[in-house]
Amino acid sequence: MLTIRGAITAMVTPFRDGKVDENRLREQIEFQITSGIDGLVPVGTTGESPTLDFPEHERIIQITTTVANRRVPVIAGVGGNATTEALELHSFAKKVGCDAGLSVNPYYNKPSQEGLYRHFMTLADKVDLPIVLYNIPGRTGINMTPATVARLAKHPNIVAIKEATGSLDQASEIRALCDLPILSGDDSLTLPLMSIGGAGVVSVASNLIPAHIKKMTQLAAVGKFAEAAAIHVRLFPFVKSLFLDGNPAGIKHAMKLAGADTGEMRLPLWEAGERTKQAIGEEVAKLDLPRR
Protein backbone atom coordinates (compact mmCIF):
# COMPACT_ATOMS: atom_id res chain seq x y z
CA MET A 1 0.00 0.00 0.00
CA LEU A 2 1.34 3.45 -0.98
CA THR A 3 2.67 5.44 1.94
CA ILE A 4 2.99 9.18 1.37
CA ARG A 5 4.88 11.00 4.08
CA GLY A 6 8.06 12.91 4.87
CA ALA A 7 9.68 15.52 2.61
CA ILE A 8 8.18 15.68 -0.87
CA THR A 9 9.33 18.33 -3.34
CA ALA A 10 6.86 20.47 -5.30
CA MET A 11 9.17 20.75 -8.27
CA VAL A 12 9.72 23.92 -10.29
CA THR A 13 9.48 23.63 -14.06
CA PRO A 14 12.66 24.80 -15.78
CA PHE A 15 12.23 26.89 -18.92
CA ARG A 16 14.75 28.04 -21.48
CA ASP A 17 13.85 30.32 -24.39
CA GLY A 18 10.15 29.71 -23.85
CA LYS A 19 10.36 25.91 -23.84
CA VAL A 20 10.58 23.33 -21.08
CA ASP A 21 14.27 22.68 -20.38
CA GLU A 22 14.20 18.89 -20.29
CA ASN A 23 17.89 18.46 -19.53
CA ARG A 24 17.67 20.72 -16.48
CA LEU A 25 14.53 18.89 -15.39
CA ARG A 26 16.39 15.58 -15.45
CA GLU A 27 19.24 17.13 -13.45
CA GLN A 28 16.78 18.41 -10.85
CA ILE A 29 15.20 14.98 -10.47
CA GLU A 30 18.57 13.32 -9.93
CA PHE A 31 19.61 15.98 -7.42
CA GLN A 32 16.42 15.46 -5.45
CA ILE A 33 16.72 11.68 -5.35
CA THR A 34 20.42 11.62 -4.47
CA SER A 35 19.66 14.13 -1.68
CA GLY A 36 17.28 11.62 -0.10
CA ILE A 37 13.92 13.22 -0.85
CA ASP A 38 10.83 11.11 -0.10
CA GLY A 39 8.82 11.97 -3.20
CA LEU A 40 8.41 14.27 -6.19
CA VAL A 41 5.48 16.39 -7.33
CA PRO A 42 5.89 17.58 -10.92
CA VAL A 43 3.52 20.15 -12.47
CA GLY A 44 1.85 21.37 -9.32
CA THR A 45 1.38 25.04 -8.47
CA THR A 46 5.14 25.51 -8.03
CA GLY A 47 5.63 23.90 -11.44
CA GLU A 48 3.59 26.69 -13.09
CA SER A 49 1.04 24.13 -14.28
CA PRO A 50 -1.57 26.71 -15.39
CA THR A 51 0.93 28.06 -17.94
CA LEU A 52 1.59 24.67 -19.56
CA ASP A 53 -0.37 23.20 -22.43
CA PHE A 54 -1.53 19.58 -22.19
CA PRO A 55 1.35 18.07 -24.21
CA GLU A 56 3.91 19.92 -22.05
CA HIS A 57 2.13 18.91 -18.86
CA GLU A 58 2.10 15.26 -19.89
CA ARG A 59 5.70 15.38 -21.12
CA ILE A 60 6.94 16.61 -17.72
CA ILE A 61 5.01 13.85 -15.95
CA GLN A 62 6.47 11.29 -18.35
CA ILE A 63 10.06 12.50 -17.86
CA THR A 64 9.74 12.60 -14.08
CA THR A 65 8.30 9.10 -13.90
CA THR A 66 10.92 7.70 -16.26
CA VAL A 67 13.92 9.32 -14.56
CA ALA A 68 12.69 8.53 -11.04
CA ASN A 69 12.33 4.90 -12.14
CA ARG A 70 10.53 3.83 -8.94
CA ARG A 71 13.32 5.13 -6.71
CA VAL A 72 10.87 7.55 -5.07
CA PRO A 73 7.11 8.03 -5.44
CA VAL A 74 5.99 10.41 -8.18
CA ILE A 75 2.80 12.27 -7.30
CA ALA A 76 1.91 14.11 -10.48
CA GLY A 77 -0.12 17.30 -10.56
CA VAL A 78 -3.32 16.17 -12.29
CA GLY A 79 -6.00 18.59 -11.11
CA GLY A 80 -8.29 20.68 -13.26
CA ASN A 81 -11.23 23.03 -12.96
CA ALA A 82 -13.28 20.78 -15.24
CA THR A 83 -13.80 17.21 -14.12
CA THR A 84 -13.39 15.96 -17.71
CA GLU A 85 -9.95 17.61 -18.01
CA ALA A 86 -8.86 16.28 -14.63
CA LEU A 87 -9.95 12.80 -15.75
CA GLU A 88 -7.66 13.06 -18.79
CA LEU A 89 -4.67 13.96 -16.63
CA HIS A 90 -5.44 11.32 -13.99
CA SER A 91 -5.71 8.70 -16.74
CA PHE A 92 -2.41 9.78 -18.30
CA ALA A 93 -0.61 9.65 -14.93
CA LYS A 94 -1.95 6.16 -14.38
CA LYS A 95 -0.88 5.06 -17.87
CA VAL A 96 2.74 6.20 -17.48
CA GLY A 97 3.18 4.66 -14.05
CA CYS A 98 2.85 7.50 -11.55
CA ASP A 99 2.38 6.40 -7.96
CA ALA A 100 -0.36 8.94 -7.25
CA GLY A 101 -1.92 12.17 -8.44
CA LEU A 102 -2.07 15.52 -6.66
CA SER A 103 -5.54 16.77 -7.48
CA VAL A 104 -6.31 20.39 -6.67
CA ASN A 105 -9.77 21.77 -5.94
CA PRO A 106 -11.43 22.93 -9.17
CA TYR A 107 -10.51 26.59 -9.46
CA TYR A 108 -12.33 29.74 -10.62
CA ASN A 109 -15.83 28.24 -10.80
CA LYS A 110 -16.16 27.87 -6.99
CA PRO A 111 -18.19 24.65 -6.68
CA SER A 112 -20.27 23.83 -3.62
CA GLN A 113 -19.09 21.23 -1.12
CA GLU A 114 -21.33 18.71 -2.83
CA GLY A 115 -19.77 19.65 -6.16
CA LEU A 116 -16.29 19.12 -4.72
CA TYR A 117 -17.32 15.77 -3.29
CA ARG A 118 -18.80 14.55 -6.57
CA HIS A 119 -15.79 15.84 -8.55
CA PHE A 120 -13.26 13.88 -6.51
CA MET A 121 -15.46 10.81 -6.18
CA THR A 122 -15.80 10.72 -9.98
CA LEU A 123 -12.01 10.81 -10.33
CA ALA A 124 -11.51 8.17 -7.64
CA ASP A 125 -14.15 5.88 -9.14
CA LYS A 126 -13.10 6.15 -12.78
CA VAL A 127 -9.29 6.01 -12.52
CA ASP A 128 -7.52 3.46 -10.33
CA LEU A 129 -4.84 5.91 -9.18
CA PRO A 130 -4.24 6.99 -5.58
CA ILE A 131 -5.29 10.61 -5.08
CA VAL A 132 -3.75 13.24 -2.82
CA LEU A 133 -6.36 15.96 -2.38
CA TYR A 134 -5.00 19.51 -2.63
CA ASN A 135 -6.82 22.20 -0.69
CA ILE A 136 -5.44 25.68 -1.43
CA PRO A 137 -8.29 28.22 -1.25
CA GLY A 138 -5.93 31.16 -1.75
CA ARG A 139 -5.40 29.90 -5.31
CA THR A 140 -8.70 28.22 -6.11
CA GLY A 141 -11.22 30.50 -4.40
CA ILE A 142 -12.90 27.63 -2.56
CA ASN A 143 -12.13 25.83 0.70
CA MET A 144 -12.78 22.12 1.07
CA THR A 145 -14.24 21.77 4.55
CA PRO A 146 -13.04 19.09 6.96
CA ALA A 147 -16.44 17.44 6.73
CA THR A 148 -16.05 17.04 2.97
CA VAL A 149 -12.51 15.73 3.43
CA ALA A 150 -13.80 13.14 5.88
CA ARG A 151 -16.48 12.01 3.42
CA LEU A 152 -13.88 11.61 0.67
CA ALA A 153 -11.42 9.83 2.97
CA LYS A 154 -13.71 6.79 2.96
CA HIS A 155 -12.78 6.06 -0.67
CA PRO A 156 -9.80 3.66 -0.90
CA ASN A 157 -8.23 5.64 -3.77
CA ILE A 158 -8.06 8.85 -1.72
CA VAL A 159 -4.87 8.43 0.29
CA ALA A 160 -3.83 11.85 1.67
CA ILE A 161 -4.47 15.59 1.58
CA LYS A 162 -2.11 18.49 0.98
CA GLU A 163 -3.45 21.17 3.32
CA ALA A 164 -2.52 24.71 2.23
CA THR A 165 -5.15 26.74 4.04
CA GLY A 166 -2.62 28.06 6.55
CA SER A 167 -5.00 26.99 9.32
CA LEU A 168 -3.91 24.57 12.01
CA ASP A 169 -7.50 24.59 13.26
CA GLN A 170 -8.65 23.17 9.94
CA ALA A 171 -5.92 20.54 9.98
CA SER A 172 -6.83 19.65 13.57
CA GLU A 173 -10.48 19.25 12.62
CA ILE A 174 -9.55 16.90 9.76
CA ARG A 175 -7.49 14.87 12.24
CA ALA A 176 -10.49 14.72 14.57
CA LEU A 177 -12.85 13.52 11.85
CA CYS A 178 -10.74 10.94 9.97
CA ASP A 179 -7.30 9.35 9.75
CA LEU A 180 -6.41 10.65 6.28
CA PRO A 181 -2.69 11.58 6.25
CA ILE A 182 -2.16 15.35 6.11
CA LEU A 183 0.76 16.95 4.29
CA SER A 184 1.60 20.58 4.87
CA GLY A 185 1.26 22.81 1.83
CA ASP A 186 3.14 25.63 3.56
CA ASP A 187 6.85 25.25 4.35
CA SER A 188 6.60 27.54 7.35
CA LEU A 189 3.87 25.37 8.91
CA THR A 190 5.44 21.95 8.38
CA LEU A 191 6.68 21.49 11.92
CA PRO A 192 3.55 22.90 13.63
CA LEU A 193 1.38 20.63 11.49
CA MET A 194 3.51 17.58 12.23
CA SER A 195 3.19 18.34 15.93
CA ILE A 196 -0.54 17.61 15.65
CA GLY A 197 0.00 14.43 13.66
CA GLY A 198 0.75 15.64 10.14
CA ALA A 199 2.62 13.23 7.87
CA GLY A 200 5.07 15.67 6.25
CA VAL A 201 5.22 18.40 3.64
CA VAL A 202 4.97 19.07 -0.07
CA SER A 203 7.78 21.58 0.00
CA VAL A 204 8.85 24.49 -2.18
CA ALA A 205 12.08 25.12 -0.25
CA SER A 206 13.27 21.56 -0.85
CA ASN A 207 13.84 22.40 -4.51
CA LEU A 208 17.06 23.94 -3.16
CA ILE A 209 17.57 22.33 0.25
CA PRO A 210 16.02 18.84 0.15
CA ALA A 211 18.36 17.37 2.75
CA HIS A 212 17.47 20.09 5.29
CA ILE A 213 13.74 19.60 4.85
CA LYS A 214 14.11 15.82 4.94
CA LYS A 215 16.07 15.97 8.21
CA MET A 216 13.46 18.18 9.87
CA THR A 217 10.60 15.88 8.92
CA GLN A 218 12.57 12.80 10.00
CA LEU A 219 13.14 14.28 13.44
CA ALA A 220 9.52 15.37 13.82
CA ALA A 221 8.26 11.97 12.74
CA VAL A 222 10.02 10.28 15.65
CA GLY A 223 9.00 12.92 18.20
CA LYS A 224 12.32 14.80 18.36
CA PHE A 225 10.57 18.14 18.18
CA ALA A 226 13.25 20.20 19.92
CA GLU A 227 15.84 19.15 17.34
CA ALA A 228 13.36 19.63 14.50
CA ALA A 229 12.49 23.07 15.86
CA ALA A 230 16.14 24.12 15.71
CA ILE A 231 16.11 23.43 11.95
CA HIS A 232 12.71 25.09 11.55
CA VAL A 233 13.86 28.29 13.26
CA ARG A 234 17.12 28.39 11.30
CA LEU A 235 15.35 27.98 7.96
CA PHE A 236 12.36 30.17 8.75
CA PRO A 237 13.75 33.50 7.42
CA PHE A 238 14.83 31.82 4.18
CA VAL A 239 11.46 30.16 3.75
CA LYS A 240 9.56 33.40 4.32
CA SER A 241 11.75 35.26 1.83
CA LEU A 242 10.74 32.82 -0.91
CA PHE A 243 7.13 33.98 -0.87
CA LEU A 244 7.50 37.77 -0.67
CA ASP A 245 6.69 38.14 -4.37
CA GLY A 246 4.77 34.92 -4.83
CA ASN A 247 5.63 31.39 -5.84
CA PRO A 248 7.70 30.23 -7.74
CA ALA A 249 9.43 33.59 -8.30
CA GLY A 250 11.29 33.32 -5.00
CA ILE A 251 12.51 29.75 -5.24
CA LYS A 252 13.58 30.18 -8.87
CA HIS A 253 15.72 33.17 -7.89
CA ALA A 254 17.21 31.30 -4.92
CA MET A 255 18.09 28.38 -7.17
CA LYS A 256 19.75 30.70 -9.66
CA LEU A 257 21.91 32.20 -6.91
CA ALA A 258 22.95 28.70 -5.86
CA GLY A 259 24.04 27.70 -9.37
CA ALA A 260 20.91 25.74 -10.26
CA ASP A 261 19.29 28.20 -12.66
CA THR A 262 15.89 27.02 -13.91
CA GLY A 263 15.41 29.87 -16.34
CA GLU A 264 12.57 32.30 -16.70
CA MET A 265 8.94 32.03 -15.66
CA ARG A 266 6.01 32.14 -18.04
CA LEU A 267 3.65 35.07 -18.23
CA PRO A 268 1.59 36.14 -16.48
CA LEU A 269 4.08 35.11 -13.77
CA TRP A 270 7.10 37.36 -13.44
CA GLU A 271 10.40 37.42 -11.60
CA ALA A 272 10.84 38.71 -8.05
CA GLY A 273 11.39 42.41 -7.48
CA GLU A 274 14.83 43.81 -6.65
CA ARG A 275 14.11 44.23 -2.94
CA THR A 276 12.91 40.65 -2.71
CA LYS A 277 15.92 39.39 -4.66
CA GLN A 278 18.18 41.16 -2.17
CA ALA A 279 16.36 39.58 0.77
CA ILE A 280 16.56 36.12 -0.80
CA GLY A 281 20.24 36.62 -1.57
CA GLU A 282 20.99 37.46 2.05
CA GLU A 283 19.21 34.34 3.26
CA VAL A 284 20.77 32.03 0.65
CA ALA A 285 24.22 33.28 1.69
CA LYS A 286 23.50 32.23 5.28
CA LEU A 287 22.79 28.68 4.15
CA ASP A 288 26.35 28.30 2.88
CA LEU A 289 25.35 25.92 0.11
CA PRO A 290 27.82 24.33 -2.31
CA ARG A 291 27.56 25.62 -5.87
CA ARG A 292 25.77 23.21 -8.21
| Number of domains observed in the structure of the chain | 1
For residue 29, is it within any domain? yes
Residue 178 belongs to domain with CATH number: 3.20.20.70
At 26-59, the pLDDT tens digits run 999 999 999 999 999 999 999 999 999 999 999 9
Write phi, then psi, for 237 (nearest 5 degrees): -60, -40
Read off the pTM.
Answer: 0.96
Domain with 132, as residue range(s), is 6-222
The beta-carbon contacts of 271-279 under 8 Å, at least 24 apart in sequence, are 272/244, 272/245, 273/245, 276/241, 276/244, 276/245, 276/249, 276/250, 277/253, 279/241, 279/244
pLDDT per residue as tens, the chain (292 positions): 688 999 999 999 999 999 999 999 999 999 999 999 999 999 999 999 999 999 999 999 999 999 999 999 999 999 999 999 999 999 999 999 999 999 999 999 999 999 999 999 999 999 999 999 999 999 999 999 999 999 999 999 999 999 999 999 999 999 999 999 999 999 999 999 999 999 999 999 999 999 999 999 999 999 999 999 999 999 999 999 999 999 999 999 999 999 999 999 999 999 999 999 999 999 999 998 877 7
Residue 258 covered by a domain: no
**Residues with a known catalytic role:** 134, 162
What DSSP element (H or E) covers 241? helix 225-241
Domain-embedded: residue 175: yes
pLDDT in tens, 187-224: 999 999 999 999 999 999 999 999 999 999 999 999 99
Residue 273 domain-assigned (yes or no): no
106: in domain? yes
The verdict on residue 199 lying in a domain is: yes
In a domain, 256, yes or no: no
Is residue 94 included in any domain, yes or no?
yes
Phi/psi of residue 117, nearest 5 degrees? -60, -50
